[in-house]
Amino acid sequence: MSFPFKTIALIGKHKNPEIVAPLLRLGQYLQSRNLEVLLDCLTAAEVTATAYPALALEEIGARADLAIVLGGDGTMLNIARKLAPFDVPLVGINQGRLGFLTDLSIDTMLETVGAMLDGRYVTERRMLLSAEVMRSEASVFDALALNDVAVNRGSGGSMIEFEVHINGEYVYSLRADGLIVATPTGSTAYALSSGGPILHPSLDLIALVPVSPHTLSNRPIVVGPDAIVEILMHRTADARVHSDSHFHFDLQENDKVVVRRSPHTVRLLHSADHSYYRMLREKLGWSGFPQK
C-alpha cells in the first residue's frame, strides 16, 4: 500500500510565540521520516531560520496531503473552513487543555503523530454550513461555518424580532436575544450554553437554538441536513450575523439570513483510540457520581 501522507503542512496559532518550539520539533521529526514539510505564510512569519517553504493556505490546499494544526479549537475552526474546499485531512494538536477539535496533546504529539503516519488513526467527516445574507434580492454577505451561524442582538440591549422559515414553510416568529443555527460540531459550543442538544458528529443534522427567547415555549428544534433555514429580520436593534464567531455582518430590517448545508465537509483525523464519549465525559465533567 502506498504511503498516504508525503507532504505535510504545519499551521500554528497566529501570533503565538509559544507554538514555535513544538512546531519546529514536529517539523524535524517529520523530516526524519523523509516527509516534505510546508508552513503557511502567517506561521512562517513567526518562525526564523527554517528552510520549510512558506505558502498561502490556498497553495497548501493544492499541495498538502495532510495539515497539522497547532493551537486551539478557534485556530482549527479558521483553518478547517479555509481548507475544506480542498478536502485536506486535518489533525489538531492543543498546546493547553485538550479541545473538542484539537484533541491531541502537545506533550505526546511525536508518538501520536508517528502512529497516525503509520496508519493507526480514525477519520471523521464533519458537515459545514453555508450562510448568506440577502438584501433587496441581492447577496451582500456569505460565509462558511463549522460550528454555527448565529444572529444576535447588538450592544443596545433590546431584543430582536424575526421570523423563521424552513424549506419555504413558516415555522415561527421570535422575539429573543438571537438564534443559533448549529452543526453537530457546534452543538457542544455556543448552542450548548443556550440549552441546545448535543448531536453526535457523525450525524448530518442542523439544530436551531433560540437565545433567551421572550416566550419560554420557543424551544430548540433539530432538522434534517437538506433543510434551508431562512431568518427574516423585522426589528434588528443593531443585530449582527456571526459565522463561527469569526466573520460578522451588520443586519438591517428586512434582511434575510439563509443557512443551508455546504457541499464541502471537513475531514478530521484522530488517534486510533479516540472516543467521542470519553471526550464528552472529560470536557463536561461526566466522570462519576456527585460526591455526597
Positions annotated as catalytic residues are 73
Give buried/exposed letters for 249-281 (b at 16+ CB in 10 A, else e).
bebeeebbbbbbbbebbbbbbbbeeeebeebee
Cα 281 off chain centre by = 20
Q: How far is CA 156 from CA 149, 238, 241, 280, in A?
A: 21, 7, 16, 36
3-state helix, strand, coil in the chain (%, to 5): 25, 40, 35
Q: How far apart are CA 96 and CA 107, in angstroms?
A: 10
Report the sign of the C-alpha dihedral through residues 27, 25, 93, 2, in that order: positive
Q: How far apart are CA 179 and CA 206, in angstroms?
A: 13
